[in-house]
Amino acid sequence: MSSDQETTISAHSLSKAYLLWDSPRDRLRQPVRDRLSRWLHVPHRQYYQQFWALRGIDFDVQRGETLGVIGRNGCGKSTLLQILAGTLTPTEGSHVVLGRISALLELGSGFNPEFTGSENVYLSAAILGLTRAEIEARYQSIVDFADIGEFIDQPVRLYSSGMFVRLAFAVAICVEPDVLIVDEALAVGDVFFVQKCMRFMRRFKQENTLLFVSHNTDAVLSLCDRALLLEAGEMKALGTAKDVCELYRREYYGAQQDVDGVEALAEAPPRHAEALAAGKDLDLVDQRLKYLNTTQFRNDIELCSFDADAEGFGAGGGRIANVGLVDPATGAPLSWVVGGERVRLQVTAVAERQIQQPIIGFLVKDHLGQALFGDNTYLSHRADGEPVAAGMVVRAAFSFRMPVLPAGDYVVLASIADGTQTEHVQLHWASEALQFHSHTSSVCTGLVGVPMQSIELERIEGGRP
């Protein structure tokens, strides 16, 4: 099969313009003026302004590929998907979508609010091209997937937003589409239903085409092969999900100073509050480490040295000079660590101007760019109050037990900012300051394994559970 036959979505110079009118009367004036200009040679006049919601969009999507579409509100994401779904006509350009398409574009779209959920199943599925016999054959699977109970027989105007999206998603997938488009609708679903939908989409994308719009870059990284970044209706970037999401975060997330590392807990868990207040070291050791570290399940993690040329951004005034893991007892640099053992992450920064209230943070990400864990110095040192003078070196040290990591590649992001947890200026954000590789692991599922303090298994004979 050629690549042309495998391409299910193709867009070429796709553009959409809207006409903005100053008043309703101008809508009537324009066609009259146009005719007068043609017939009586009256000077032409334009009573409207053109707003280009999309301009010059070019991309192809192959069967078995998932494309994420990201960007800020108003950048043209929904307009693009509506054109591909066939509910909107482009002003310029062309597009081709092969196979049956199903789209979840807007909450409750295609539903009659006075109809019951059951009646809307038949209505929406018929609009998507199913015969009544096909709908009846799939009706129970739709109801089971939506899982809204007796509300299936109630008018949908009584539904919550979560119930709306449950039923809408169930109907959208029942037609067994070749192309599925999901536009941010899952943002209103509860966590269990969202996970259910994500499991379905992971299975679906193996042999079909999925277009997925979300402001959650972690969801895009987890689900999508490639991503398209839109800015003001134009293509800003098209590439791997990791690269495009990093660009999006850098330009629209980090640059607006909304984050520095991961927000720390405001207070300690009550169980350990007294011990922490007394400065006691709660050294919780995974009871399995002694066994694991002598078997093939040992979590060996190989560290690379600090990358001084790591890609980054920031306002300037400070820079990350070094990032590394050291032995917490001796301070010696580490080149290998084992998941579950105690380590100290040191982040060294240089002040290039006076920094009034420095914050140093770190974030560990996997190869997809998903944030795993991190922290910063703000909550523990916000009361220090002493600014850092220009030319001074400031070092932050984070002591913790290394999580047990699945085999794969990881990076440590490090940053220095000036301000508070919620309002600060990013001086330097080093995206991949430190890289490391986990060779083997005992983790069987999940993004990280948490060292257990204890695991108990009790056999009860003749007892009740």
> Which of 277-281, 301-305, 374-378 has maximum average pLDDT?
374-378
5-47 confidence digits (pLDDT tens): 588 999 999 999 988 888 888 788 878 877 777 777 777 778 7
Q: How confident is the model at residue 133 (pLDDT cuts 50, 70, 90)?
A: very high
Q: Give the pLDDT confidence score for residue 464 in this predicted structure.
A: 61
Q: How confident is the model at residue 108 (pLDDT cuts 50, 70, 90)?
A: low
Superfamily of chain region 288-438: abc- transporter (atp binding component) like domain (2.70.50.60)
**Residue predicted with more confidence, 214 or 288:** 214
What DSSP line would sit under 84-105, residue for residue?
HHTSS--SEEEEEE-S-EEEE-
**Residue predicted with more confidence, 11 or 270:** 11
Per-domain residue ranges for the chain?
3-254, 288-438
401-424 confidence digits (pLDDT tens): 888 888 888 889 999 999 888 788
Percentage with pLDDT > 70 across the chain: 81
Q: Give the pLDDT confidence score for residue 427 in this predicted structure.
A: 92
16, 49, 79, 240 from 92: Cα distances, Å: 7, 17, 13, 27
Q: How confident is the model at residue 4 (pLDDT cuts 50, 70, 90)?
A: very low
Q: Quickly tell me which residue has 């398409």 as its tokens.
A: 101
159, 270, 286, 288 from 283: Cα distances, Å: 50, 17, 10, 15
Assigned CATH for 3-254? 3.40.50.300
288-331 confidence digits (pLDDT tens): 445 444 444 445 677 887 877 777 888 899 999 999 998 888 88
Whether the pTM exceeds 0.75: the reply is no
**Lowest mean pLDDT, pick from 160-174, 257-271, 278-292, 340-354:** 257-271
3-class secondary-structure state, position 358 = strand
